[in-house]
Amino acid sequence: MPKIVFMGTPDFSVSILEKVHSEYGVSLVVTQPDKPVGRKRVYTAPPVAEKAKELGIDLYQPERIKAEEAFKKIQSYQPDLIITAAYGQILPKQVLDLPKFGAVNVHASLLPKHRGGAPIHRAVLNGDSESGVTIMYMAEGLDSGDIISQVTTKITDEDNTGTLHDRLSILGGDLLMKTLPDIFNGTNERIPQNHEEKTISPNISKEDERLDFTRSQRDVFNHIRGLSPFPGAYTVLDGRRLKIYAADLTDEQSTEQPGTIIKKDGDGFYVACGTGVLRITEVQPSGKKRMPAHQFAGSRQDIDGTQLGAE
């Protein structure tokens, strides 16, 4: 049985780790260090670390994977294959060169599109019609290695980043399990990427989270679902943040200034955009829990005509 070192960090990686371990056994899991989470800044282990403990797999959480100590630790396990899935750090060449079957990555996009740390968010934000998973050989550049296999899935208007994330995690694990026998047999494909077609999908910044209602309703709609459920898009109402987690496209038009709430009903409240009108259906006022937008709007008698986005 080949010796496998698995490297991953978030929820996306958990089901993939489970599938690999159940079939082949994983010798070592490498993940990011525990980090402070929430308002109380409680140090919390990454989801992959928790799963490794549950499965009884050796766990290693280096601050820097490029440190010599990290290389020696991984080397001591004499891996035949390294598998990464949303690990969060770029592996140095000396680590990539360790295993005889190489190092492969489960990347949540159809490479060469959406290289980088937020491929799922950016696919939805951009309004892409499809996404997928790529199994690839790792190289020193950012997600630039040869493609081994891919699987595609449609992105519908009912999707947000959360639903697409969960679907790609399952698809990625299934594709990896189909691909690993070919890798171990030396019969897998190895297709160089067309680097001229690459797009970069950097991590979501604080600036990315703020909504701009001067854009079309379709763009605002994609922005909202692209950041739902995490980290959440926001606007400002009466000087306070209002997070918006869900919305619907409508056929309505308005001559009001973009960001104006033009009406409310039992489904939510309606906001004028640069073109078209968007119905907001789920929000989270500052300091409160998420709630249906109609509940929030119903608590405010003066909401019609209110301007979103004004400081």
Is 110 assigned a ligand-binding role in the annotation? yes
Whether 45 and 134 share a structural domain: yes
303 band by pLDDT with thresholds 50, 70 and 90: confident
**pLDDT band at 53, cuts 50/70/90?**
very high
**Alpha-carbon torsion 55, 58, 63, 64, what sign?**
negative
CA–CA dist 81, 96 (Å, integer) = 9
**d(Cα 191, Cα 283) in Å, to the nearest integer?**
44
Residue 152: CATH number of its domain: 3.40.50.170
pLDDT reading at 311 higher than 70? no
Assess whether 190 and 225 both reside in one domain.
no
Q: What is the mean pLDDT of the chain?
A: 95
For the stretch 189-213, pLDDT in tens is: 999 999 999 999 999 999 999 999 9
Of 197, 230, 252, the residue that ends a domain is 197
Give the model confidence (pLDDT) of 246-294 as tens digits: 999 999 999 999 999 999 999 999 999 999 999 999 999 998 999 999 9
Amino acid at 202: P
Q: Do the beta carbons of residue 112 and residue 203 sit within 8 Å?
A: no
Residue 230 above 70 pLDDT? Answer: yes
- Mean pLDDT for 176-185 is 97
Domain shared by 83 and 173, yes or no: yes
Considering the domain boundaries, does residue 309 fall inside one? no
Domain with 33, as residue range(s), is 4-197
- Tell me the pLDDT band of 17, cut-offs 50, 70 and 90: very high
Say whether both 188 and 243 belong to one domain. Answer: no
**Span 60-89, mean pLDDT?**
96
pLDDT at res. 298: 85
Annotated ligand binding at 112? The verdict is: yes
- Please count the structural domains in the chain: 2
Domain identity same for 45 and 186: yes
Pairs from 191-197 (Cβ < 8 Å, separation ≥ 24): 191/146, 191/147, 191/148, 192/146, 192/147, 193/111, 193/112, 193/144, 193/145, 193/146, 193/147, 194/112, 195/112, 195/144, 197/112, 197/113
> Does residue 305 sit within a domain?
no
Same domain, 113 and 48: yes
User: Is the model's pLDDT at 39 over the cut of 80?
Assistant: no
213 lies in the same domain as 93: no
Query: Residue 133: which pLDDT band, with cuts at 50, 70 and 90?
Result: very high
Q: Is 237 annotated as a binding residue?
A: no
Categorize the per-residue pLDDT at 299 as very low, low, confident or very high, splitting at 50, 70 and 90: confident
> Which of 197, 226, 258 is the endpoint of a domain?
197
Q: Are residues 211 and 182 in the same domain?
A: no
Report the sign of the C-alpha dihedral through residues 272, 222, 229, 88, in that order.
negative
Of the residues 163, 197, 231, which one is the last residue of a structural domain?
Answer: 197
111 is in an annotated binding site: yes
